[in-house]
Chain A
Amino acid sequence: MNAKGAVLPVGEGFAPAVIEWLKEALNREIFEAVLIPVETPAEDSYAYLLIQNPAILDRASPLPPVMPVQGGKAIGRLTMRGTLNKRVAAVVRPCEARAAIELTKLKQAHLTNLFLITLDCAGVLPLSDYLEDPATAGARFAEAVTQGDRSPMRPSCQICHRFSLASAPGVDLHIGTLGIDEGSAVIVPGSLKGERILEQMGVSEDDERARPVAEMLERWTTQVAEVTEAQIERRRQAHAELQEAVAGADRLLETFSTCINCHNCQRACPVCYCRQCYFESTALKLPPDNYLARATAKGALRFAPDTLLFHLGRASHMALSCVSCGACEDACPMDIPVGQVFSLLADRAQEALGYVAGRNVDDPLPLVAYEMEELHGVEQPYVEIYREQEVQDA
């Protein structure tokens, strides 16, 4: 068994091949259930379904054209209160896996017995674009994916540089398609759990045309690296332009001037896990005198107040764990570029602390973890002051 990867033969198309593989894994009881997007009954959207019955799995879509619910959020709902008893495979996009990893660090998800399976992702369409006409949008999406064209995708997807395994080496299995022609895909393990699954599944090491898996892995790795580099450049440019447009209090106020305080962004965010957001709590429900004094001081007080404060507060609470998925922007009824602004803030914050959200479940969350030497800034440890004296006394 080559631990570096295996071939997934793609005969009838990519999605059916992935589903067949999942069914076989269910059949062999490697997994007992699968969490995966499935088209809704009205065929106008997709929802995460936890599936045991293989017949339902036939309707699944491993890479649907939209992301109505962030998969990390679905994993959180499933495991927030503890560890699964059944072995469940979650088939999600890389940013969804990264959100699940952040939630795990925040103790809002439990990954034991959960197998994270990710796929090379070309992005998703903005929900509003898709809902205008789901049937044609689906075809447009498929075409764009084939062309490697990210322009119709969510703005966050257009500048995503963490669309493949390299961004979350902690996932259990990743299915790679980039750089490999349509006849095949590679399944790459990211963990010991993943390696064991591949061994149990006994997937072939060369494809139908007898190309060795090593060659395909090589092509995939090269292509992923190339696209990543191009995407990093796109992201850098987009963020530079965005910074021009939004930096500073005045421009931020302008950016959020159309906000109606619905807090959909916070609700759609996979990382914002608070049962009750501080900004909706009684802490900010004040006596009328307070509002009127603020209105008098300024001549006018936007009401309800604290609109920008909500966004800045949310950013300071979650920027280190922001996975730049764009779910917030999709949920905004006012088309505010909230996902782009947050991705800019998040990149800067994470860079400053040498942290990448969702990269690895073992990376400690900067503001939650303390290191011994950091305490020096506050006080000199006891041992350093008294050790010498203690030794002498002894």
Chain B
Amino acid sequence: MPEGATSSAFTPERLRTNQGAEETVRQLLRSLLQSGQVEAVLALGKTGTEERGVAYSLFTEPDAFAMDGDALPLLPFMPANGGGLLSRLTLGGALARPVAAVIRPCELRAFIELMKLNQGGLDNVVLISSTCAGVYPLGTAVNGNLDERVSSYWEGMEHGELDEAVRPTCRACESFIPEGADITVALFGEEDLDRQCTLYLNTERGAALAQRLEGTTVTGNSERAAIERSKGERDAFRQKLFAGVDVGMTGLIHTFGRCIGCHGCKTVCPICYCQLCHFDSHDCEREPGYYEGELRRKGGLRVPPDTVFFQLGRMAHMALSCVGCGMCSDVCPADIPVSTIFSKVAASAQATFDYEPGRDLAEEIPLRTFKEEEFAQVAT
């Protein structure tokens, strides 16, 4: 049977190891590389010799996952959305041999959306994800405060609580349980993460890959209560966050008034996959006569033009697939809460179509599918 497919006979399992979460994950990845079960692992790691640089890398050397190795698979930081990177990796063709990717739930959702948009494929991609307590804003690494935050992060993780310093969009995220991963590392609300670790082996392939790990099969979900409580807290924070932004025309003009037009939000957005954005294209380069005409009409106009129009256009293009990862807010040099605004609009757009981006690869994106009965409104 093809890899990645779930046989009807397979029942998901739960494996508990007698090592901490960090050790378990590192040991798993190391053994996958050592045994040749995967050719490479896409995971976060150090760049450069100072501690500040963190980036995703394709690791092929098993030692990178030793406890003091360069890889940092569980670091609560997102320098790029891993879903976008998996698209980049698989856009040029299917992988010949398995590659494992350690990514967060929103990154996984982004990859699923990108696959629906024909921007990548699942062949030979092994997805390893975890229940998520959020990531720190990019600025935390810039200030050198990431390391000192990390210990309180793990403490909060065990109690099912979020550090207030994680991205606002993470504090408002209710989709922190990954869907569609081969292996899910249970972290959120799990006790004694420094001494034990539970892995959800969701697919036959996931179970096969974890075979070398020592542990016991367990049942029951002790973390369920913490997850439910956190969902409530996150929802409350989400409502508060949404209430703080005005997505009406006046509000948008005010909020995006300080936009510098770098379009960094679009560049780092995993869903915005266009090779050349319409708003950067020839279509949006205007003759001087256009400006002079607008000037006659309005008395004054902003140059470069279309600041809010760009945001609205991008929103219209990607809101149904917006996974609320928060990259756009983090990258904004003008400190605009782009992600909050987009998430708020995306929530109502997605509710309209009863659509959840990244929930299921088999689910079509609403505006890309047509049903036969819809044509009846146009012609008989």
Residues of A within 8 A of B (CB): 33, 35, 38, 40-42, 44-45, 47-53, 55-56, 68-69, 73-74, 77-86, 110, 127-128, 131, 253-254, 257-258, 260-264, 267-268, 275-276, 280-282, 285-292, 295-296, 299-304, 307, 330-335
> Once A and B bind, how many residue pairs between them come within 8 Å at the CB atom?
229
Chain A residue at minimum C-beta to C-beta distance from B294:
A50
Within 8 A of A (CB), among B242-287: 253-255, 257-258, 260-264, 267-268, 275-276, 280-282, 285-287
Taking A53-B299, A334-B142 as known contacts, 9 extra A-B pairs with beta carbons closer than 8 A to each other, sorted by chain A number, are: A45-B258, A50-B295, A50-B301, A68-B334, A69-B304, A78-B288, A260-B331, A275-B280, A335-B142
Chain B residue at minimum C-beta to C-beta distance from A39:
B257
Interface-facing stretch out of B54-62, B103-111, B156-164, B190-198? B54-62
Query: Given A45-B334, A333-B331, do A300 and B286 touch, yes or no (CB 8 Å)?
Result: no
What residues of A have a CB within 8 angstroms of the CB of B261 in the complex?
69, 267
Are A131 and B334 in contact (CB-based, < 8 A)?
A: yes
What residues of A have a CB within 8 angstroms of the CB of B254 in the complex?
40-42
Pull 23 A–B residue pairs with CB atoms less than 8 Å apart, ordered by A: A40-B258, A47-B302, A48-B303, A78-B288, A80-B285, A85-B292, A127-B334, A131-B334, A254-B48, A257-B48, A264-B264, A264-B333, A268-B333, A288-B99, A291-B58, A292-B95, A296-B40, A300-B58, A300-B64, A302-B56, A303-B85, A304-B85, A334-B138
Q: How far is the CA of A307 from the CA of B139 in the complex (A)?
A: 19
Q: Is there a chain A Cβ closer than 8 Å to B74's Cβ?
A: no
What residues of A have a CB within 8 angstroms of the CB of B90 in the complex?
288
Task: Give, as a whole number of angstroms, the nearest-CB distance from B107 to chain A.
Answer: 13
Nearest first, the 3 closest Cβ-Cβ pairs linking A and B are A257-B53, A257-B48, A53-B299
Chain A residue at minimum C-beta to C-beta distance from B137:
A333
Task: Give, as a whole number of angstroms, the nearest-CB distance from B216 to chain A.
Answer: 33
Chain A residue at minimum C-beta to C-beta distance from B336:
A131
Within 8 A of A (CB), among B326-373: 330-335
Are B257 and A288 in contact (CB-based, < 8 A)?
A: no
Are B282 and A262 in contact (CB-based, < 8 A)?
A: no
Q: How far is the CA of A260 from the CA of B292 in the complex (A)?
A: 39
Q: Is there a chain A Cβ closer than 8 Å to B141's Cβ?
A: yes
Give which listed residue, B47, B95, B142, B295, contacts A257 with CB less than 8 A: B47
What residues of A have a CB within 8 angstroms of the CB of B96 in the complex?
288-289
Chain A residue at minimum C-beta to C-beta distance from B297:
A52
Are A288 and B89 in contact (CB-based, < 8 A)?
A: yes
Chain A residue at minimum C-beta to C-beta distance from B45:
A300
Q: Is there a chain A Cβ closer than 8 Å to B50's Cβ?
A: yes
Q: How far is the CA of A114 from the CA of B242 in the complex (A)?
A: 45
Are B85 and A82 in contact (CB-based, < 8 A)?
A: no
Q: Is there a chain A Cβ closer than 8 Å to B88's Cβ?
A: yes
Are B57 and A128 in contact (CB-based, < 8 A)?
A: no
Give which listed residue, B60, B99, B292, B302, contacts A48 with CB less than 8 A: B302
Are A84 and B299 in contact (CB-based, < 8 A)?
A: no
Q: How far is the CA of A254 from the CA of B261 in the complex (A)?
A: 28
Give which listed residue, B97, B267, B285, B335, contacts A131 with CB less than 8 A: B335
Are B59 and A299 in contact (CB-based, < 8 A)?
A: yes
Are B89 and A303 in contact (CB-based, < 8 A)?
A: yes
Q: Is there a chain A Cβ closer than 8 Å to B93's Cβ?
A: yes
Are A262 and B64 in contact (CB-based, < 8 A)?
A: no
Query: Given A33-B295, A45-B334, A263-B267, do A81 and B47 touch, yes or no (CB 8 Å)?
Result: no
Query: Given A68-B334, A300-B57, A334-B142, do A74 and B257 touch, yes or no (CB 8 Å)?
Result: no
Are B64 and A299 in contact (CB-based, < 8 A)?
A: yes
Q: How far is the CA of A267 from the CA of B261 in the complex (A)?
A: 8
Q: Is there a chain A Cβ closer than 8 Å to B2's Cβ?
A: no
Task: Give, as a whole number of angstroms, the nearest-CB distance from A285 to chain B.
Answer: 6
Task: Give, as a whole number of angstroms, the nearest-CB distance from A44 to chain B.
Answer: 5
Query: Given A131-B258, A263-B267, A300-B58, do A49 and B301 touch, yes or no (CB 8 Å)?
Result: yes
Are A303 and B299 in contact (CB-based, < 8 A)?
A: no
Task: Give, as a whole number of angstroms, the nearest-CB distance from B351 to chain A.
Answer: 29
Are B282 and A275 in contact (CB-based, < 8 A)?
A: yes
Q: How far is the CA of A81 from the CA of B61 in the complex (A)?
A: 52
Give which listed residue, B89, B276, B300, B302, contacts A53 with CB less than 8 A: B300
Query: Given A276-B275, A332-B333, do A81 and B288 touch, yes or no (CB 8 Å)?
Result: yes
Task: Give, as a whole number of angstroms, the nearest-CB distance from A333 to chain B.
Answer: 5
Are A282 and B257 in contact (CB-based, < 8 A)?
A: no
What residues of A have a CB within 8 angstroms of the CB of B305 in the complex?
77
Task: Give, as a whole number of angstroms, the nearest-CB distance from B312 to chain A.
Answer: 17
Task: Give, as a whole number of angstroms, the nearest-CB distance from A226 to chain B.
Answer: 34
Chain A residue at minimum C-beta to C-beta distance from B78:
A260
Q: Is there a chain A Cβ closer than 8 Å to B75's Cβ?
A: no
Chain B residue at minimum C-beta to C-beta distance from A49:
B300
Chain A residue at minimum C-beta to C-beta distance from B295:
A52
Are A81 and B59 in contact (CB-based, < 8 A)?
A: no
Give which listed residue, A44, A45, A281, A300, contacts B59 with CB less than 8 A: A300
Q: How far is the CA of A264 from the CA of B287 in the complex (A)?
A: 25
Task: Give, as a whole number of angstroms, the nearest-CB distance from B294 to chain A.
Answer: 8
Query: Given A301-B58, A303-B58, do A263 and B264 touch, yes or no (CB 8 Å)?
Result: yes
Give which listed residue, A41, A51, A73, A276, contacts B299 with CB less than 8 A: A51
Give which listed residue, A38, A41, A49, A282, contacts B275 with CB less than 8 A: A282
Are B48 and A253 in contact (CB-based, < 8 A)?
A: yes
What residues of B have a CB within 8 angstroms of the CB of A275 in the complex?
276, 280-282, 285
